[in-house]
Structure 1
Amino acid sequence: MHPQSWFWRLLAWQAILCVGLVVAAAMLATRSAAAGWSLPRVLLVLLLVALCISAATIWFSLKRLHQPLVELARLARQISAGDGDSVPSSLPGEELSEISGALQLFRGRLEQRGDQVQQNTQRLQTVMASMIEGVLAVGPDHTILLANQAAQRLLDFATSQPQGRSLLEVTRARSVYEAVQHALETTKAVEREFDSPGVQRRVLLLRATRLPGEPCPGVMVVIHDVSELRRLENLRREFVANVSHELKTPLAAIKAYAETLRMGAVNDPENNLAFVLRIEEQAERLHQLILDMLQIARIESGQQTFNIIDVGLAELIDECLAQFADLAAAKQIDLVGELPADELTARGDEEGLRTILSNLVDNAIKYTTTGGEVFIRCQATEETVTIEVKDSGIGIADKELVRIFERFYRVDRARSREMGGTGLGLSIVKNLTQAFGGSVGVVSEPGKGSTFRVTLKRCKPATPAVTASAV
């Protein structure tokens, strides 16, 4: 029964009481007249009796209503405190039956919403942790509300628990603080590019956006690491500048010799042939430069296909010695090769390995002075094989070693151009070696020569099969 039924029951009892009192008053009035009682006295007695009965009825009804309300308040406090598991499935009392059902439905929906919130929170945490971009939420008082792991790493946070702390307290990136301050003062997104703090320097791109609402609840900051992008842009600019410079030199020489011949030197029998030879040399240099550039472009773009097979290194070294024998003899350089004792093979493209070895030997001969030595040998382990080209040339300083494999990089630019080098030989060696799954390195000391080592995967010789003879 609803709690309201007790109210109507109370009214019914009061109505019955009033009717009974009226009847009793009429009866007492008749008898009091016969007995000689005064009417006011009778009415006073009836009034006292009515008040006592009414008070008893009201007290009993309120007691019946008060107990369910107390129980309902206790259950509501349990649910509000999160102790929904202790709520019984049914509550005693006829008055609380419907309220009990409503509480059970409310508790079920509350648990469902709690599970959904927990799942969404876990998903958000997973997404934030897997992002490579730094995400930072900053309040209007510059306190950190949210920060993922990428933001902590990029901004070099001083603590692993930045929530609730001031932005300037956890990072030294002043640009972030200024961007947040600017975003709080405007409705437009703020972008900044700056160098990250910490030991490892990075180029970071920041975008700060003001969160909607009045008053403003804060600013959302997204941070991108654009170090690699900026490095590639610098390489592209340097490549364009180097290509333009390298193409300009032979073209200028060809143009100068051609103009000299056109202006009368073509009829000079003593010099015209020399000028034509110079034009041919510069044209060959230009042709070789273009071929090297095309080869590097194909390798880096993945367009060049390789036939990865087992290549015999003894035959490869023997061919290289024969190829550069005349060039080494012309400079009075001893070109020595130590052929492998067994059939040592490496995994790679045969023509690519030939290019690697040729570029290394050619480079060693160019930078070795008269009377020096260039030595080729192979060293093998169970898994790898290393081709080593050692010379007794001018050597390379330590500060130059980190850039020696870059395109167009020359330790001595004037001497390299004089020798006809394009500055791409070692870069081709590096790209081909990496394409074959290997690595390349160099050890050098100025005045004592250099040693280039190319390490490739080794092909193990097949185990000969054992044939059992029939008895």
Structure 2
Amino acid sequence: MFDRLSSLVIAVTLVAIAAIFATLTGGDPLSIAIMALAGFIAAATVYSALPVPLPDAPRTSAAEPVLPPAISLLRHPDFAHWVDQEKEPLLGIADNIVTIANDAAIRLLGRHIVGADVRTAIRHPAATDWLSRIDDGAPLEMVNLIDFPRPGARWTMRIAALSGREYIIFLSDRSAIDAADRMRSDFVANASHELRTPLAAILGYVETLQDMNGETDMATRSRFLSIIHGEAGRMQQLVIDLLSISRVEADRFRRPTTPVDLAGIVGTSIAQLCDSEQARAKDIVAKLGEEPLPMLGDQAQLGQLAHNIISNALKYGHTGTPVTVELTREGRRVRLAVSDEGDGIAPDHLPRLTERFYRVDEARSRSVGGTGLGLAIVKHISERHQGQLDIESELGKGTRVSVTFPLAT
């Protein structure tokens, strides 16, 4: 296709040739002039009608395609909206500078981290070392932050790479998971130890009796058999408590729906202790009142709760001192309280009394036959029944354990 200049040149040339041809053949000068003028006008019309050519687009190399400008995800409004909804700490960093942080990150690290170098925002040796090597192509692996942000805690740090030198940092709290794992390991170790101790005693005395071949006197044999019987009973009680705590934990999310009378349950537990071989049963002072105390509960579990609390008071209170068992209505709740007059418990031990196998005085607990699971079972039973467990103690005066439950009416 011709351009505008080429078209004009051709038109003018044709008009000129026509004029010269007319002159050579003897044509009228006026006619020749009119024809030439008409030709020029036609050429001008053709020239103006042709389209104006567009400027040439810049040439680019096939090896270097033109790409649209990169869009920063960290500056996108939808990204900021998503960050604010995240429950765990999240940071957006560009060139090692924290450009965005959600509320969880600010609560964990402080408001000053926005605009700061990420290596100073997350003050932990493992994090600092990893973040210092991120530009060297270090693999984007998970990093454990031990004792962060406080001793005994553990967090993990994950990093997702974006375009350019931008990254997203995810922080996750794993302290509770670690604590649960430690509790599980401690539980297995303690249970094994508690079972191994009486089992070793039983095996030792049985072997001694076998080696004597009937040469021992009846008094010695009876004493050994009595020890074996006692250790076997201790193992049996430990197995019962282990099964109880497992059963209670399995039921902890199922609220009881059976109507029961707490006053009747506590009264039955006291009667069972008085009928047993419990040496201090006569020291129990019951203040249960006359009215029934209806609630929704598991009768067997509430009986075990009352039995464990009263038994502990009998074990650790001084001989000959009263163990007071009270039931008191407090509005729409009822309080079961058991008080003893013993040595008391130091304040630093109180928060740990409901831990499995925790003992204030291990030697004394073993001598009175405790398994270390009694109050742990009480705690789980009270939680299942929406109860509140309280332990108060004063050194040299005694301990008061109480649980409040919601009444059915």
TM-score category, normalised to shorter length: 0.7 to 0.9
Shift of 1:229: 1.3
Higher RCO by CA contacts (8 Å cutoff, separation 6 or greater): 2
Aligned-partner residue type, residue 312 of structure 2: N
Aligned to 2:352, the other structure's residue is in SS state: coil
Q: Alignment RMSD, CA only?
A: 4.3
Q: Which has the larger radius of gyration?
A: 1
Aligned to 2:342, the other structure's residue is in SS state: coil
> Which of 168, 177, 194 is 1:229 aligned to?
177
Give 1:144's aligned residue: 98
**Which runs of 5 or more residues in structure 1 are unaligned?**
35-42, 70-113, 461-471
Describe the shift of the 1:54–1:167 C-alpha distance in structure 2 as closer, same or farther (beyond 3 A): farther
Give 1:202's aligned residue: 153
Where does 1:51-200 land on structure 2 (aligned, <5 Å)? 122=78, 128-139=83-94, 141-144=95-98, 147-154=101-108, 156-159=109-112, 162=114, 165-195=116-146, 197-198=148-149
Where does 1:177-326 land on structure 2 (aligned, <5 Å)? 177-195=128-146, 197-198=148-149, 202-208=153-159, 211=161, 217-264=165-212, 267-302=216-251, 308-325=257-274
Describe the shift of the 1:450–1:425 C-alpha distance in structure 2 as closer, same or farther (beyond 3 A): same
**Which runs of 5 or more residues in structure 2 are unaligned?**
55-70
Shift of 1:302: 3.7
Distance in 2 (alpha carbons) for counterparts of 1:11 and 1:184: 60
TM-score with structure 2 setting the length: 0.78
Aligned-partner residue type, residue 117 of structure 2: S
Aligned-partner residue type, residue 262 of structure 1: Q
Distance in 2 (alpha carbons) for counterparts of 1:134 and 1:266: 74
Distance in 2 (alpha carbons) for counterparts of 1:304 and 1:21: 108
Give 1:350's aligned residue: 299
Describe the shift of the 1:339–1:403 C-alpha distance in structure 2 as closer, same or farther (beyond 3 A): same
Give 1:422's aligned residue: 371
- The yes-or-no answer on 1:447 pairing with 2:401 is no
Distance in 2 (alpha carbons) for counterparts of 1:256 and 1:13: 125
Give the conservation status (yes or no) of the 8 Å contact 2:318–2:342: yes
TM-score with structure 1 setting the length: 0.69
Aligned to 1:410, the other structure's residue is in SS state: coil
Question: Which sits farther off after the overlay, 195-204 or 339-348?
Answer: 195-204
Distance in 2 (alpha carbons) for counterparts of 1:332 and 1:361: 10
Shift of 1:251: 1.2
Describe the shift of the 1:306–1:208 C-alpha distance in structure 2 as closer, same or farther (beyond 3 A): closer
Shift of 1:347: 1.9
Structure 1 vs Structure 2: percent identity of aligned residues? 30
- The yes-or-no answer on 1:456 pairing with 2:397 is no
Aligned residues: 388
Distance in 2 (alpha carbons) for counterparts of 1:220 and 1:450: 53
Distance in 1 (alpha carbons) for counterparts of 2:361 and 2:142: 42
Give the conservation status (yes or no) of the 8 Å contact 1:144–1:166: yes
Give 2:63's aligned residue: none
Aligned to 1:406, the other structure's residue is in SS state: coil
Distance in 2 (alpha carbons) for counterparts of 1:25 and 1:283: 139
Give the conservation status (yes or no) of the 8 Å contact 1:194–1:204: yes
